[in-house]
């Protein structure tokens, strides 16, 4: 089973929930934690994994053999991203615009274009006390997170319970991370910002046809409108975490909640079994 | 014209609350919300929309079942796993047109896709340009560029000297698009190990694009030791820490009432945000040469 942990709004506690659930489950069964927030990965701060392997992530960008090129301009014509231009007797490649689709090299009538890898990030693989851990890091200055996320997800181990920590937002990196999950846990806070972004995140999950449930973090701080929304939409609220300076302090130090306050372990195991029940219930309907 | 972009790397550190307060404190500015995925500034500034424009960007492949011979070439060449069973998954399709170009049956067309909307609005504090990216859409970087361009145009037309931009979290495409060519990046950090890690990456992005940066530590008293570490780190990076804002529930209370915190309360938080604005205003410098002789 794959459970992704997303939010829309940043800083609501995705990593807190993802790491707590993974650490609670690891004594009970086989768990794998993937940190797909490749722009700002933080799960490793809490998990403290031993990283054993690194893999570079590159995207294929065109390399033009000018001895073969006759400057016909086909490559520039087919490129949907304006990443290659032909100006008189010169071909210019703009690697930062290239999506690595491969159309230019395949369609070049002179077979003058080959592809070379351009490194945009890396994936690190490791473990922490029996829990498998994988995260990705986008290189500073690079724009495209999805290829790094795809590479992280190639390491999904179907024999394990997989927990995916997702980046904030609702666009391509979030879609790439949630896609293929059996369940999406949306972490929010009871404020107007939390609600506004939760509504968007729910729409993403629905568009991807992934069932979702909500965790409300820092309850006691805001209003009850997130609850009202969830009841209205029939979205289960699976967990609430109170606003608590003790929890915030543990988080600030990189101490996992379930290690700092062990009684939370039971709560996260219950959260997992509630999710499992929802997912199994759906499967038996199919 | 001077453009101040508020970023953070890590989400939820308080960017929007700070920009909302700057909207009150700054005279003569255009506001821009470049967090187009999950825009929230409008919840504080209560804009009335004056102009709404559709954002058409990118294309999606569509296969005509009638013409398709099921040869499978499109599926073979697609690197985004967007074609399965001779159907295009519009969410995965990156609009590269490779399939369109290779299809021997000419069964594939490329359709323009509506990726969102952008708005020019009036608020009590001045003009606001904001946007809404469609759910699960691509091209957030391009939409950010449109928002910035429109904000600049308004500032130019009205002779306004400052643009204050609420930026997205992260360091990828929309952040790069928000940051390039800006006058100053204000980085809002929180004193957690995650916050420190993410600040480090976003400072690297500013260095990479050669944008001057200044830091504000929000909720500094959650962990003063970590705040100290941020200050030392910034010193080493040659980045100024312009303000340290304490944790206070008034920020959330103001948010619940839909008000910028400096309008809601007069306490230490408000004082520190005022200091921050003065520091930012000073760092960004004057847009014109002002003859200032006493």
Band of residue A283 on the pLDDT scale cut at 50, 70, 90:
confident
DSSP 8-class letter at B74 = H
CATH number of A2-55+121-285: 3.40.50.300
- The CATH number of domain B2-46+124-284, selected from 3.40.50.300, 3.30.70.100, 3.50.50.60, 3.40.50.720: 3.40.50.300
Listed in sequence order, the residues at least 6 apart from A153 whose beta carbon sits closer than 8 Å to its beta carbon are A34, A36, A164, A176, A177, A180
How much is the CA Rg of chain B, to the nearest whole Å?
22
- Mean pLDDT in chain B? 94
Q: Say if the Cβ atoms of B12 and A168 lie within 8 Å.
A: yes
The predicted model gives B215-233 an average pLDDT of 97
User: Is pLDDT of B157 > 90?
Assistant: yes
**Hey, is A42 helix, strand or coil?**
coil
Q: Say if the Cβ atoms of B170 and A40 lie within 8 Å.
A: yes
Listed in sequence order, the residues at least 6 apart from A21 whose beta carbon sits closer than 8 Å to its beta carbon are A3, A5, A163, A268, A271, A272
Give 3-state DSSP helix, strand, coil % of chain B, rounded to 5: 40, 25, 35
User: Is pLDDT of B294 > 50?
Assistant: no
Q: Say if the Cβ atoms of A141 and B176 lie within 8 Å.
A: yes
Q: Say if the Cβ atoms of B96 and A99 lie within 8 Å.
A: yes
B132: phi then psi, degrees, rounded to nearest 5: -135, 115
Using a CB-CB cut-off of 8 Å, the residues of chain B touching A144 are 172-173
Q: Say if the Cβ atoms of A78 and B136 lie within 8 Å.
A: no
Nearest to B38 among A8, A138, A249 (CB): A8
- Number of Cβ within 10 Å of residue A198's Cβ equals 29
Per-residue pLDDT tens over the stretch A163-218: 999 999 998 999 999 999 999 999 999 999 999 999 999 999 999 999 999 999 99
- Nearest Cα of chain B lies from the Cα of A169 at a distance, in angstroms, of 5
Nearest to A42 among B95, B171, B198 (CB): B198
In this predicted structure, what is the pLDDT of residue A285? 74
User: Scanning every residue of chain A, which has its alpha carbon at the shortest distance from the alpha carbon of B99?
Assistant: A103
Burial of B191 (0-12, 13-18, 19+ CB in 10 A): buried
Instruction: Give the residue from A268, A22, A170, A75 showing the smallest Cα distance to B134.
Output: A170
- Nearest Cα of chain A lies from the Cα of B56 at a distance, in angstroms, of 15
The predicted model gives B262-277 an average pLDDT of 96
Domain B58-114 is found in CATH 3.30.450.20:
no
CA distance readout (Å), A94 to A62, A100, A113, A247, B155 = 9, 11, 14, 47, 31
Q: Which of B36, B57, B109, B173 to mutate to test the interface with A (most CBs of A within 10 A)?
A: B173
Band of residue B43 on the pLDDT scale cut at 50, 70, 90:
very high
CATH number of A66-111: 3.30.70.20
What is the H or E stretch that residue A260 is in?
helix A257-260
In this predicted structure, what is the pLDDT of residue B137? 84
Q: What is the spatial distance between Cα A102 and Cα A114, in angstroms, rounded to a whole number?
A: 9
Q: Say if the Cβ atoms of B258 and A245 lie within 8 Å.
A: no
Judge whether A217 and A13 are in contact, CB under 8 Å: yes
In this predicted structure, what is the pLDDT of residue B140? 87
Judge whether B176 and B34 are in contact, CB under 8 Å: no
Residues of chain A with CATH 3.30.70.20: 66-111
Per-residue pLDDT tens over the stretch B101-114: 999 999 999 999 99
Q: Say if the Cβ atoms of A103 and B194 lie within 8 Å.
A: no
What is the H or E stretch that residue B179 is in?
helix B173-179
User: Is pLDDT of B89 > 60?
Assistant: yes
Q: Which of B96, B136, B200, B204 to mutate to test the interface with A (most CBs of A within 10 A)?
A: B136
Using a CB-CB cut-off of 8 Å, the residues of chain A touching B141 are 143
Task: Name the residue with tokens 């520091």.
Answer: B279
In this predicted structure, what is the pLDDT of residue B293? 40
In this predicted structure, what is the pLDDT of residue B73? 97
Per-residue pLDDT tens over the stretch B237-266: 999 999 999 999 999 999 999 999 999 999
Phi-psi label, residue A94: left if phi above 0, alpha if psi -120 to 50, beta otherwise = beta
Nearest to A171 among B137, B171, B226 (CB): B137
Q: What is the spatial distance between Cα B186 and Cα B280, in angstroms, rounded to a whole number?
A: 8
Judge whether A238 and A226 are in contact, CB under 8 Å: no
Domain ranges of chain B: 2-46+124-284, 58-114
In this predicted structure, what is the pLDDT of residue B287? 63
User: Is pLDDT of A221 > 90?
Assistant: no
Q: Say if the Cβ atoms of B172 and A145 lie within 8 Å.
A: yes
Using a CB-CB cut-off of 8 Å, the residues of chain A touching B136 are 170-171, 174-175, 203-204, 207-208
User: Is pLDDT of B289 > 60?
Assistant: no
């Amino acid at each position: 089973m794959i459970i992704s942990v997303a939010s829309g709004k940043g800083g609501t506690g995705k990593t807190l929930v993802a790491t707590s659930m993974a650490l609670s489950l690891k004594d009970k069964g086989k768990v794998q934690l993937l940190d797909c927030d490749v722009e700002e990965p933080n799960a490793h701060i809490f998990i403290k994994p031993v990283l054993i392997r690194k893999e570079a992530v590159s995207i294929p960008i065109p390399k033009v053999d000018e001895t073969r090129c006759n400057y016909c301009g086909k490559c520039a014509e087919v490129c949907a991203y304006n990443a290659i231009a032909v100006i008189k007797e010169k071909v210019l490649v703009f690697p930062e615009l290239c999506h690595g689709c491969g159309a230019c090299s395949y369609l070049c009538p002179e077979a003058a274009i080959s592809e070379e890898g351009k490194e945009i990030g890396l994936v690190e693989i490791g473990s922490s006390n029996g829990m498998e851990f994988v995260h990705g890091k986008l290189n500073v200055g690079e724009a495209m997170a999805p290829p790094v996320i795809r590479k992280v997800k190639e390491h999904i181990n179907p024999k394990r319970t997989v927990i995916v920590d997702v980046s904030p937002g609702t666009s391509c990196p979030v879609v790439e991370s949630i896609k293929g999950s059996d369940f999406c846990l949306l972490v929010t806070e009871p404020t107007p910002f939390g609600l506004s972004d939760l509504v968007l995140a729910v729409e993403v999950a629905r568009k991807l046809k992934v069932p979702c449930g909500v965790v409300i973090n820092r309850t006691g701080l805001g209003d009850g409108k997130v609850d009202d929304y969830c009841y209205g939409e029939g979205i289960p609220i699976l967990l609430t975490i109170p606003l608590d300076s003790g929890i915030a302090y543990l988080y600030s130090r990189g101490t996992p909640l379930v290690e700092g306050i062990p009684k939370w372990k039971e709560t996260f195991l219950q959260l997992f079994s509630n999710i499992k029940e929802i997912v199994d219930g759906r499967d038996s309907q199919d | 014209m001077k453009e101040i972009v508020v970023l953070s790397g890590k989400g939820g550190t308080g960017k929007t609350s700070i920009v909302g307060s700057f909207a009150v404190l700054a005279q003569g500015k255009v506001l821009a919300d470049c967090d187009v995925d999950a825009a929230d500034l409008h919840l504080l500034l209560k804009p009335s929309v004056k102009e709404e424009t559709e954002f058409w960007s990118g294309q999606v492949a569509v296969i005509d079942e009638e013409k398709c011979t099921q040869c499978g070439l499109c599926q073979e060449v697609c690197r985004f796993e967007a074609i399965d069973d001779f159907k295009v998954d519009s969410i995965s399709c990156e609009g590269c047109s490779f399939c369109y170009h290779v299809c021997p049956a000419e069964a594939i067309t490329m359709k323009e896709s509506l990726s969102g909307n952008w708005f020019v609005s009036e608020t009590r504090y001045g003009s606001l340009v904001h946007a809404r990216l469609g759910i699960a859409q691509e091209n957030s970087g391009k939409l950010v560029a449109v928002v910035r361009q429109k904000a600049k145009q308004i500032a130019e037309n009205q002779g306004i000297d400052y643009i204050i931009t609420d930026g997205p979290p992260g360091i990828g495409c929309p952040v790069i698009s928000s940051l390039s060519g800006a006058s100053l990046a204000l980085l809002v950090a929180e004193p957690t190990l995650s916050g420190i890690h993410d600040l480090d990456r976003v400072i690297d992005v500013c260095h990479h694009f050669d944008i001057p940066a200044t830091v504000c530590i929000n909720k500094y008293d959650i962990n003063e030791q970590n705040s100290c570490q941020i200050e030392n780190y910034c010193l080493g990076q040659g980045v100024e820490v312009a303000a340290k804002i304490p944790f206070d529930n008034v920020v959330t209370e103001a948010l619940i009432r839909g008000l910028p915190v400096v309008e809601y309360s007069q306490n230490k938080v408000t004082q520190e945000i005022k200091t921050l604005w003065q520091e930012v205003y000073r760092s960004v410098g004057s847009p014109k040469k002002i003859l200032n002789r006493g």
